[in-house]
Structure 1
């Protein structure tokens, strides 16, 4: 059974008592259940959000009308339906229409409540990601071990390409306050390879890499290049893993928020802060000296308000 068939079966299943297992769930949550577990592109998320926000109307639109309303092409709608495991848009529409009819029957406001709760649902998903990370960090040994290794690598290379650049920049900015030589790499290909060669030649032993969805091929190339020049690699990525994890020496995962058009990174950001703490604790004397020195420079030059 395909994932689309499973989703339709879950949405339409009837218990012996005559009620759907998710009878008490809001229609908006039942629609989201069709999308959960699928990695959607930003364009596909626009379609998904339009369906959630306008369910009672959108479930009965033609593919041409839906594409126009969502601001995408007709082939994009077809690819969206197929990515969910449906044979095409008509099959997806067949799954949506019973949910839409239940929304009309049960709520005079129709789909208005979906718009009201969409952002809250995204926050709830991020809270769940943080709770999962909290469980992961219950055993601190791995984070502390990686922190010691990163602290001892001079220079320390931090890699982040495409959407992962912001997380890598955050980590590198903070790490420079407590580490003497942090080298940030935000370009792939031969530029990254050159930076890795230089880092290894200068005595570096580790690279920390970020790989958030959608995973860039260049990140996989950089991980393999790091291994080829003798650098060990720690990877922070989402739980989908894949070939990136095989190319890294150590992998730490944190869920990304995928309810909105673009991902959010509360859990990866928190994991980054935990590794920074582990680095700071690995060499407390160096950490204290560097932080105090930086504060003196900041006061002298008036860096902050």
Structure 2
């Protein structure tokens, strides 16, 4: 634990003569978040980051064994976490954290809030930023409208979503079936995906829409390459603007994902998916209206939904 002399030095550097934290100097917890920010962390690594943030004055002086035990992860997980942040190991990360812990122990307010926000509010704020970014891209709607027309013409239309990306793919496929005559969801990789993609192409399909959210799966890339080998064109919804997935796609639409919580959140990709469904609906309004009316008749006849 820090000595009294160490606390005094930390206090003198972090507190103004009037006894208040300098406005120009970020709080220790903010510095820790900045240290972790900008890195794509796995769910286990986010748990480590959250524990260190919440228990900074203690965690910065723990051995790798103790930290792993407190968080409930393995020691190699802690080492990989440190390396993912750009350190050569856990000791280097701990050395970087200790001055911040000393500042917090010296009396600089250490709270879980940023500007009055708690962690959940901060996660929502990050998603709002993603939505604002998406809103700016929607200033030019041509790419979404063009892709919507292409997907509407592809019969059958194949939707690809593997691992965690499956949830978005299922949402899109479920809604697309209301307005499109033949939608096929591919939710398994390997030879199963290849068979489904080949059958779609042989049936007359021209496009596959792939979803690729973090952590990006190798089997998604393999399935996209398989789709192209059959003659299908590939559209991609992802959070990336560069990389092998984008290189393999004929058209890419990008939306940021929220990464402040243990698992990513998908507010912007969800809105982007809904916008693309809207573009598909508008591409063939007569077909859309006919199919929606038939669906409503079936829903009423078979009592699909509760009466609100």
Structure 1, residues 110-169: CA drift from partner, whole Å, max 9, x if none?
A: 345479711111111111111111111110000000000001101000000000000000
Q: Deviations over 1:161-186 (max 9, x none)?
A: 00000000000000001101000000
1:175 alignment counterpart:
176
Q: Residues 240 and 246 of structure 2 are in contact (CA less than 8 Å); yes or no, is this contact kept in structure 1?
A: no
Matched, 1:194 2:200: no
SS of match in other structure, 2:151:
helix
Show the counterpart of 1:261: 262
1:89 is aligned to 90
Q: Offset of 1:224 from its aligned partner?
A: 0.6
- Out of 220-229 and 51-60, give the one that drifted further: 51-60
After superposing on structure 2, the runs of 4+ consecutive aligned residues of structure 1 that deviate more than 6 Å are none
The answer on whether the counterparts of 1:159 and 1:209 sit within 8 Å (CA) in structure 2 is yes
**Equivalent pair of 1:257/1:263 in contact (CA under 8 Å):** yes
Q: TM-score, normalised by structure 2?
A: 0.88
Residue 106 (structure 1) shift? 4.1
Aligned to 1:185: 186
How far 1:26 sits from its partner (Å)? 3.2
Q: How far apart are 1:107 and its partner, in Å?
A: 4.4
Which deviations, in whole Å up to 9, do the C-alpha atoms of 1:272-293 show, x marking residues without a partner? 0010010011111111111111
Give 2:30's aligned residue.
29
Do the aligned residues in 2 keep the contact of 1:157 with 1:208 (CA within 8 Å)? yes
Task: Give the match for residue 165 of structure 2.
Answer: 164
From the CA coordinates, give the structure whose radius of gyration is larger: 2
Change over 3 Å in CA distance of 1:277–1:21 after alignment to 2:
farther
TM-score when normalising by structure 1: 0.89
Residue pairs, 1:267-278, within 5 angstroms: 267-278=268-279
* Structure 1 segments unaligned to the other structure (5+ residues): 1-13, 15-19
Structure-1 residue corresponding to 2:213 = 212
8 A Cα contact 1:52 1:111, kept in partner: no
Q: Deviations over 1:246-273 (max 9, x none)?
A: 1110111111111111111111111100
Q: Structure 2 vs 1, CA of residues 243 and 112 (structure 1 numbering), >3 Å: closer, same or farther?
A: closer
What root-mean-square deviation, in Å, do the aligned CA atoms of Structure 1 and Structure 2 show? 2.1
How far off its partner does 1:87 sit? 1.4
1:74-130 deviation per Cα after TM superposition (whole angstroms, max 9, x unaligned): 11111110110011112111221222222233446x345479711111111111111
Deviates more, 1:258-267 or 1:147-156: 258-267
Equivalence for 2:46:
45
1:229 aligns with 2:252: no
Q: Does the aligned pair in 2 maintain the 1:55–1:111 contact within 8 Å?
A: no
